[in-house]
Chains A and B, each alone.
Chain A
């Protein structure tokens, strides 16, 4: 299906983009790589009047060492996250998840900020960012604020960002030494995950996140609490779908997703221990 009509503006700075969002209100949307937004627009599930293109803002792309964390600009592409030696050393789970998004062409265009702001409950990078306890950096008319990534997701394809805010970066605590796992199931190579499980085996605070099991990317807190209470990986994994409301769709029934979540969580906990 062809794209609906819209107008286009190439932003010269984040401040200008924020000012335009203030002026345009809900009718404007930000464009990064376009690999989430343009397909939604083709399906008429998003009908912005104006796209504000952040693509020319080089200051929003790149991966920097922030001391105890990695600072990853919102426009950093999946390919760059997947192949960064810094990410491989300090947040290998994120590199792994980025390497599995879409296909090589998609990874050459899609961005980490765009993926998180798309707020798809099945997103690989959202599950990885949740398990890594990442923070997002947000710029709005009142300046900059930080939010735990879990607070970003409101509903399928809806963030909690105000219409005037721009997600500018993601900060990922360095977890280079912690065991981790990313378990992903899909029927076809380029599909979104039917279910995926991201786990970081931090002994003090194990973290487990699920993709495609709820209306938002989901922290499996029942699993985490069971592990913290001394449960085995096998026992904790049986709680993986607790509190979840997985969808039934062409890829899988809700019951099958619950089954997958428990199996993949067990595998993830065994690998990340």
Chain B
């Protein structure tokens, strides 16, 4: 049986009918064609599918689309650019510090870190590593990811706006 869901995604209201087992990451990727959010492990472990639900980082493989009904979702596609239309400062920091290798985990990393920087704008390295406990990267060894977050600290204000 299909269930109606209305979810505000990156500021736009979306309404569709979905089967109950449809996860939020499947809704974003397969229904809305927002494919920046990746699905990795399917088991709430790897963090690749991290998005913000009502402003908080969650793993979208373990949220049903019907559970997001009436709520707001932000994906990495929704991050506003910096002044002059460039990348969001956090994305720019990942680029500048080369906090990316294959890139599969990156959208989830960015959304997890955004949650940290909104609560704690100037984290130290230990706080960054703790905040990334739920995000796995199999390429970088995390060094450049942590460096990117530290470089971006203070550059991101409330609600992820530069």
Q: Which A positions have Cβ atoms within 8 angstroms of B?
A: 1-8, 10, 31, 34-35, 38-39, 42, 51, 53, 55, 79, 102-106, 108-109, 189-190
The smallest C-beta distance from A255 to any residue of chain B, in angstroms, reads 27
The residue that B42 contacts in the complex, of A4, A10, A35, A42, with Cβ under 8 A, is A42
Q: Which B positions have Cβ atoms within 8 angstroms of A?
A: 1, 3, 19-21, 23, 42-45, 47, 50, 53, 56-59, 62-64, 66-67, 69, 112, 115-116, 131, 133-135
Please name 9 pairs of A and B residues whose Cβ atoms are closer than 8 Å in the assembled complex, sorted by A.
A5-B20, A7-B20, A35-B44, A39-B44, A103-B134, A104-B57, A105-B115, A109-B62, A190-B133
Determine whether the beta carbon of B21 is less than 8 Å from that of A34.
Answer: no
Determine whether the beta carbon of B134 is less than 8 Å from that of A10.
Answer: no
* A-B pairs with lowest CB-CB distance, top 10: A103-B134, A8-B20, A3-B21, A103-B133, A108-B56, A189-B133, A105-B59, A105-B134, A105-B57, A38-B62
Determine whether the beta carbon of B44 is less than 8 Å from that of A53.
Answer: no
The smallest C-beta distance from B138 to any residue of chain A, in angstroms, reads 14
Residues of B contacting A2 with CB < 8 Å? Answer: 21, 42
Assembly CA distance A176 to B108 (angstroms): 38
Determine whether the beta carbon of A34 is less than 8 Å from that of B64.
Answer: yes
Assembly CA distance A35 to B43 (angstroms): 9
Assembly CA distance A134 to B50 (angstroms): 33
The smallest C-beta distance from B148 to any residue of chain A, in angstroms, reads 18
Assembly CA distance A39 to B61 (angstroms): 10
Residues of B contacting A105 with CB < 8 Å? Answer: 44, 47, 50, 57-59, 112, 115, 134
Assembly CA distance A28 to B133 (angstroms): 33
The residue that B45 contacts in the complex, of A3, A4, A10, A190, with Cβ under 8 A, is A190
The smallest C-beta distance from A69 to any residue of chain B, in angstroms, reads 28
The smallest C-beta distance from A113 to any residue of chain B, in angstroms, reads 16
Determine whether the beta carbon of B47 is less than 8 Å from that of A103.
Answer: yes
Residues of A contacting B134 with CB < 8 Å? Answer: 102-106, 190
| Apart from A4-B21, A39-B43, A55-B67, 15 more pairs, CB < 8 Å | A2-B21, A3-B23, A8-B20, A38-B64, A79-B56, A102-B44, A102-B134, A103-B133, A104-B112, A104-B131, A104-B133, A105-B44, A106-B44, A108-B56, A109-B53
The smallest C-beta distance from A54 to any residue of chain B, in angstroms, reads 11
Residues of A contacting B20 with CB < 8 Å? Answer: 5-8, 51
Assembly CA distance A105 to B46 (angstroms): 11
Residue of A nearest to B51 (CB): A105
Residues of B contacting A6 with CB < 8 Å? Answer: 20-21
The residue that A10 contacts in the complex, of B1, B57, B66, B112, with Cβ under 8 A, is B66
Residues of A contacting B45 with CB < 8 Å? Answer: 190
